[in-house]
Amino acid sequence: MTSLAVIGATALYLLFIWLASAIAASWLSDRKGYGEKAGLATGLLLSAVAVPVWLLWPARAGSLWKTEGILPPRNRRVRTAEQSSGAKSSDDT
C-alpha cells in the first residue's frame, strides 16, 4: 500500500510540471505574437520541452517580445477608455 502512495505523489508532481509548462509556453507564445492557443497546445503535448522550444522560436515583428523586451515592464500604467479619450471625470474639477 505504501508504494501506491509514492506513485501518487510522483504523479502529482508530474502533473504540476505539466501544467506549469503549459502555462509558461502559453505566456511565451502570446508575448512572441503567436497567440496563447499555440503555446498551450505545445505545452500540453510536449510538456517541459515546450518552454525551451518557445524560448528559441523567433518572435514576430510587432510582438510584445520585440517592442517591450523579454519581460513586461513592472510599472506600466493601464489607461482606461475615459483617460485615453481625454474626457474629464466629475472628480477632476
Structural domain harbouring 59 = 2-74
* Residue 66: inside a domain: yes
* Residue 84: inside a domain: no
Q: What is the pLDDT of residues 13-40, one digit of tens each?
A: 999 999 999 999 999 999 999 999 999 9
pLDDT surpasses 90 at 75 = no
Q: What is the pTM of this model?
A: 0.71
32: left (phi over 0), alpha (psi -120 to 50) or beta: alpha
Distance of CA 51 to the CA centre of its chain: 10
pLDDT surpasses 80 at 76 = no
* Residue 33: inside a domain: yes
* Residue 34: inside a domain: yes
Cell digits for 59? 518572435
Number of domains in the chain: 1
* Residue 13: inside a domain: yes
Tell me the residue type at 14: L
